[in-house]
Amino acid sequence: MEYNINMDFAEIRESENKYAVRTGNRHNICFAKGEGCKLYDTNGKEYIDFVGGYGENTLGYSHPGLTQTISEQSQKLINCSNLYFSEPLAKLCKTLVEDTIFSKALICSGHYDAFFGLISFVRRYCQLAKDTRKTIVAVTENRYFNIDSKLFSMQDSIKETFNIRAVPYGDKEKLRQAFDGTVCAAIISPIMSDGVTVMDNDYVLSFYALAKSASAIVSIDESNLGFGCTGKTFAYEHYGINPDIVSLSKGLGGGLIMGALLLRRDIALLPTGKRQLTQASALECEAANFVISKLKGGMLDEVNAKGEYLLAKLSKLRKYNFVVDIRGKGLIYGIELSSKLRAEKVALTMEQHGFLIDVTAKNTLRLTPPFVVTEHEIDLFTDELARIFSETNV
C-alpha cells in the first residue's frame, strides 16, 4: 500500500515524547493508513485490526461511502454555532428517534457529555417535579471507564444534588436492598464494554422492575459501547425493556467522536436552563447519518451473521485450561484468561504477527472489529490466536 508521510516513525515518537502530554501507554507502532479492517504502519507493515478504535470505527477505515459523505459535508459546512438550525443535526435527531420509544434526541460532543447530559436531565426532572428524593442507584462493574468511574469523575458537580449508591453487578439481593424510598433514578449498562460483561436477562429485568416500582427514572448508559455492535441498534433491546433515557457515543460517528441522548417525551420536553452541552458539529452529524443508514440498510444483519461465525471459531478455544470464559454479543467479545497466562503477553505476540487485539479488565482479551471484517479475516485472526494458545505451556 502506497502513502506519503512527512515524518518517519522515529521522528514522530521523539516529537510526541517531547511535546505531548501522555494520556496512556503507547505501543511501539504508528499507523499511517487504514483500509477496511486493516491498518498499515509507517514501515508499510499490515495489521488486521480487532481493536477498531475501542468500538469507534464501526465502518472500518477509508470506507468509500463515509469518506465521500465527510468530504462533501466538509466542502459545505464543517461547523457552526448551536445558535442556528442545522440540517445534518435535524436529520440525525429524526433518524435516531424514528420508530423508537423515544421522542427527542440531544446530540453532543462525546461520551462524557452524553453521560453528563443524562445526569442533568435527571436533575432537572426531579427539580420541576418537586421530587425531593436524592439517590441514584448505579449498577457498576467496578472497572475503568464504566458507570462508576464516570460518576466518580463527576462527583464534585453532582454530589450537592444526588447521592450515588453503587451496586456491584450480580447480587440481586443487594440490588433489591438498594431501592428504598430515596431513589429517584437508576442507571445500568446491560452490556459493559470494559470487561465485556453481558448481564443476564433475569438481572436486568429485576433492575427494571425495581426501578419502575420505585417510580425511578430508568437510565441506560451505552455511551462506552460501540453503536450497533451487539447486533441491535441499542443494546438494551436485547432485554425487552423500555428505558426513559439512553446515552450513546462510541461508533455513532463512524470514528468521529460524538454522543447522543435519547429521551422519552415527559423528560425531553423539560426546559434545560441556560447551561448547554457542547453540540456535535455538522460534519459529525452527517457522518452519523451515513452510519445509521448503513445499519438500517442491512449491516446489523451482517453484524449478527459475522458475530455468530466469530463465536463459532472462538468456542474452539474453550478446550484450553487457561480460558476462563468467552462472552459477548454481535461483534464484541471478550476472552477471559486465568492468571496462568497474561493477556498482555498474548496481545503482544498477536501484534508481532500482524493482528491487533485489546486487553481489558479481568485479564480479558477484548475483540471489537469493524463491522466490515470479513470471514477470511476472522479465520486469519482466530487461527493465529489458536496457534498461540496451542504453543502455550501452562
Give residue limits of the domains in the chain: 9-62+298-390, 66-294
> In the chain, pLDDT over 70 holds for what percent of residues?
92
Average pLDDT score, the chain: 90
Q: Are 49 and 356 in contact (CB under 8 A)?
A: yes
Per DSSP bridges, beta strands 323-329 and 259-263 are unpaired
Q: Give me the helices (H) in 103-249, please.
A: 111-128, 147-153, 155-158, 172-178, 201-213
The CA-based dihedral angle spanning residues 96, 98, 100, 102, taken in that order and rounded to the nearest 10 degrees = 70
Q: Please name which of 197, 203, 119 lies closest in space to residue 161, comparing C-alpha atoms.
A: 119
Q: How far is CA 301 from the centre of its chain?
A: 19
pLDDT at 303: 98
Does the 9-62+298-390 domain belong in CATH 3.90.1150.10?
A: yes
pLDDT above 90 coverage of the chain, percent: 73
Average pLDDT rounded to a whole number, residues 161-190: 93
Hey, which residues does 328 pair with through a beta bridge? 333
- What is the average pLDDT across 15-19? 89
pLDDT number for residue 153: 55
Render the burial of 240-258: b for 16+ CB within 10 Å, e for the rest. ebebbbbbbbbbbbbbbbb
Question: Which amino acid is it at 369?
Answer: P
> What is d(CA 284, CA 124) in angstroms, rounded to the nearest whole number?
27
pLDDT at 143: 45
Query: Which pLDDT score, from 0 to 100, does residue 156 have?
Result: 58
Q: Alpha helices, DSSP H only, in 29-110?
A: 64-76, 87-97
How far, in Å, CA of 359 to CA of 342, rounded?
Answer: 10
Spatial neighbors of 224 by CB under 8 A, at least 6 apart, are: 111, 145, 146, 189, 192, 193, 194, 249, 250
Q: Long-range CB contacts (< 8 A, 24+ apart) of 381-388?
A: 381/48, 381/50, 381/355, 382/310, 382/313, 382/314, 382/316, 382/317, 384/350, 384/353, 384/355, 385/317, 385/346, 385/350, 385/355, 385/357, 386/316, 386/317, 388/346, 388/349, 388/350
* 3-state class percentages of the chain: helix first, strand second, coil last, to nearest 5: 40, 20, 40
What cell was used for 252?
A: 455513532
CATH number given to 66-294: 3.40.640.10
- pLDDT category at 324 given cuts 50, 70, 90 is very high
| Average pLDDT over every residue of 278-289 | 94
Q: Any residues with CB less than 8 A from the CB of 65 and at least 6 apart, and which?
A: 59, 290, 294
Measured distance CA(104)–CA(89) in Å, rounded: 12
d(CA 3, CA 304): 34
Instruction: Kindly tell me if the per-residue pLDDT of 272 is higher than 60.
Output: no
Q: What is the pLDDT of residue 172?
A: 94
Check pLDDT > 70 for residue 144: no
DSSP 286-348: HHHHHHHHHIIIIIHHHHHHHHHHHHHHHHGGGGSTTEEEEEEETTEEEEEE-TTS-HHHHHH
The burial class, CB within 10 Å (0-12 / 13-18 / 19+), for 37 is buried
Those residues with Cβ within 8 angstroms of residue 151's Cβ, 6 or more apart along the chain or in another chain: 138, 158, 164, 166
Q: Which three cell numbers stand for residue 328?
A: 459477548
How confident is the model over 277-305, as a mean pLDDT? 95
3-state helix/strand/coil string of 196-211: CEECCHHHHHHHHHHH
Tell me the pLDDT tens digit for each residue of 90-100. 999 999 999 99
Rounded mean pLDDT, 193-198 = 90
pLDDT in tens, 349-386: 999 999 999 999 889 999 999 999 999 999 999 999 99
Give the amino acid at 105: A
Q: Express each pLDDT in 202-230 by its tens digit.
A: 999 999 999 999 999 999 999 989 999 99
Give the pLDDT score at 149: 55
